[in-house]
Structure 1
Amino acid sequence: MAVDFPRSVVHGGTGKRQRENTGKNPLDFSASLNPLPPRFTWHCDPACLSSYPDNEYVQLKECIAHTFHREPEEICVGNGSIELIRVFCSVMLSGKKTYFAESPTFGEYALSARLAGASAARTSEAANVSFVCNPNNPTGELCRHSDLMARIKAISSHEGMLFADEAFIELADPSESLVDVRAVPLFVLRSLTKSFAVPGIRFGYGFGDPDLIAKIETVRPPWSVNAYAEAFALQAFSHLDELGKSRDYIRKERDWLSLRIEELRLRCPPSSANYLLVDCACNVGPLCTQLETHNILVRDCTSFGLASCIRVAIRTHEENEQLVEALSACVR
């Protein structure tokens, strides 16, 4: 009997695989990480490895609560933000529920919702859960705080819920965040991976109503945040204020890079994030292959439904210059 089981979502960040397969060390513009992350010393006591982590993560949640002026019972943690997306959907969308996610956007929302048994709704008003990625991946478009507050009000009128994924907001504009909003129909997801450029340390965290958080923490696999990730996170939260320098650098480089790319007769819609969506007006598969010969990896956006587009991260100025040089050679 045929079963309509969804396929895995395509992701960027394939640099490690490329190094293993080719022996080369490519510039990975497919992974949207902070090019100028805060640098600090952190340490994981080897003695911690001989004990299970505290599955309630009391110290970690108190640290997050103090940082964001929330209560520990309003906070959940997980092995990366994707684990929390999966767990949230398992809690809120199991059974014959519906979800809504605007297109194009991060594919894990739809996948996790479908794995929980939910089906897609045509509108936000018809959905049990509406997903918003802010700023959006892959477009970089940023929703304003006031617009999202209006959306929460509209969603609450039909007993729905808004899931706000703010994985990139610390590198865009944290003043537009919903992290300070306490509302039953709202869950806010965050990640340290992008802001601190540590994709190898899987750590995500979220904010919501205590009843929802209690359910998420029950469904989350025990000890999912390992000792190394916890040790790093405890130090990182004291350096969030240093991300202002990162935002300034990203803004300057984004403006420079988008101008250079448009000079190649490619189109870059306005972005507020640490990445650009580039419309090449043709199928980008061959272009991505050509760029690999120049030791450059970019995100083919075909999986987003954008077969003529690539997404490129904002990296250091020297690296961005190498991207422009490679693009120039490939699109002529």
Structure 2
Amino acid sequence: MRDNLPERMEHGGRVRWHRTREQGRLLDFSANVNPYPPEIPWNPDPSALYDYPDDRYEALKEEIGRAFGRGTDEIAVGNGSVELIRAFCSAVLGRGDAACIVPPTFAEYEMAVRLAGARCTPKEAGAAVRFLCNPNNPTGRLCSREEVLRLLSGTAARGSYLFLDEAFIELADPRQSVVDVRHENLFLLRSLTKSFAVPGIRFGYAFGTPELIARVETVRLPWTVNTFAEAFAIEAFRHYDLLRASRERIAREREWLSAGLESLCLTYEPPSANYILIEIPLPAELLVERLLSRGILVRDCRSFGLPCHIRVAVRTREENRQLIEALEACLP
């Protein structure tokens, strides 16, 4: 029996749990999903539940390949991005290996590394994998394409992998993506569910060389993408270009929300996607509780090692207005 398992990580998006306890309407600013998702003509066929999914997901990978100009053997799919993070770590890391993770960033990288028996370090030297979230969660910092390519060149020179998480880049600036780059030291992760605002179906996908993808697919549990999620994803990739309108509307609301935070004299990280990291003048848990009493759920960032920060999603204008009003009432 293993007695050194790490504790489960805390995440946002617990609105369903809070709703059952609070017995009221909540505005969920804790989950970073697209507030202006494209309308997808998706009508799930109940008869699809009678068969197992195609565990090779050939039709789905063909649609992804058409959207990005990649071969099906360069694509992995999973039940959310977290499954692929863990599958990748299980495939390439072992006991005694090290992975470079620079905090604050997505907590599941550390969890996956430790579950694979490896250790985490903030130093790139000697690390078998360098993790980069671009744009970063929770800070929102977006590295340019040139910065990412330089980092890839450096990791490759050391014989290491670059694990690049582009889960939010579709809602930030896709011009900075390196999804078109084929490199034996690169594993690139994406998430459909954030961009199309369907976190309930759990779907993530990734790109790498055929050899690396084969290893990840071997580690991944079979049939984890259910038939409803597969059907939605196929239709979403057929309408992938509609995300441009989402980005434009998010950018306008992000600017408005940022101005509202400035009016409250709050300091925040320069945002690039559909969320903003905010420094607050009191412990995060106190403000979270005050906002919750007003029907507003935000992300407590203590689990990122930031005890006086919250992260808020960019939502619609009226919802963002309600957030600013609630912050004004709850701040000291």
TM-score normalized by structure 1?
0.98
1:21-40 superposed matches below 5 A: 21-40=21-40
- Partner residue in 2 for 1:174: 174
Equivalent-residue separation in structure 2 for 1:155 and 1:320 (angstroms): 40
Could you report, residue by residue, the CA deviation over 1:277-313 in whole angstroms, capped at 9, with x for unpaired residues? 0101331211110001110000010110111100000
Question: What amino acid is aligned across from residue 242 of structure 2 in structure 1?
Answer: E
Could you report, residue by residue, the CA deviation over 1:231-288 in whole angstroms, capped at 9, with x for unpaired residues? 0000000111111111111111111111111211111121101000010133121111
> Is the contact made by 1:187 and 1:206 (CA closer than 8 Å) also made in structure 2?
yes
Equivalent-residue separation in structure 2 for 1:330 and 1:44 (angstroms): 43
1:262 to 2:271 alignment: no
Aligned-residue sequence identity (percent) comes to 52
Equivalent-residue separation in structure 2 for 1:264 and 1:307 (angstroms): 20
Equivalent-residue separation in structure 2 for 1:9 and 1:208 (angstroms): 27
1:230-309 superposed matches below 5 A: 230-309=230-309
> Is the contact made by 1:134 and 1:168 (CA closer than 8 Å) also made in structure 2?
yes
Equivalent-residue separation in structure 1 for 2:155 and 2:2 (angstroms): 36
> Is the contact made by 2:101 and 2:122 (CA closer than 8 Å) also made in structure 1?
no
Unaligned ranges ≥5, structure 2: none
Equivalent-residue separation in structure 1 for 2:270 and 2:74 (angstroms): 34
- Partner residue in 2 for 1:114: 114
> Is the contact made by 1:38 and 1:242 (CA closer than 8 Å) also made in structure 2?
yes
- Secondary structure of the 1:125 match is coil
Equivalent-residue separation in structure 2 for 1:18 and 1:2 (angstroms): 32
- Secondary structure of the 2:239 match is helix
Equivalent-residue separation in structure 2 for 1:292 and 1:213 (angstroms): 42
- Partner residue in 2 for 1:76: 76
Residue 13 of structure 1, CA deviation: 0.3
Residue 178 of structure 1, CA deviation: 1.4
- Partner residue in 1 for 2:165: 165
Residue 2 of structure 1, CA deviation: 9.2
- Secondary structure of the 1:167 match is coil
1:146 to 2:131 alignment: no
- Secondary structure of the 1:245 match is helix
> Is the contact made by 1:125 and 1:155 (CA closer than 8 Å) also made in structure 2?
no
- Secondary structure of the 2:64 match is helix
Question: What amino acid is aligned across from residue 192 of structure 1 in structure 2?
Answer: L
Let me know the Cα RMSD of the aligned residues.
Answer: 1.2
TM-score normalized by structure 2?
0.98
1:186 to 2:186 alignment: yes
1:20 to 2:23 alignment: no
Question: What amino acid is aligned across from residue 231 of structure 1 in structure 2?
Answer: A
Equivalent-residue separation in structure 2 for 1:42 and 1:226 (angstroms): 15
Equivalent-residue separation in structure 2 for 1:53 and 1:44 (angstroms): 14
Equivalent-residue separation in structure 1 for 2:17 and 2:7 (angstroms): 20
- Secondary structure of the 2:245 match is helix
Residue 49 of structure 1, CA deviation: 1.2
Unaligned ranges ≥5, structure 1: none
Question: What amino acid is aligned across from residue 251 of structure 2 in structure 1?
Answer: R
1:39-78 superposed matches below 5 A: 39-78=39-78
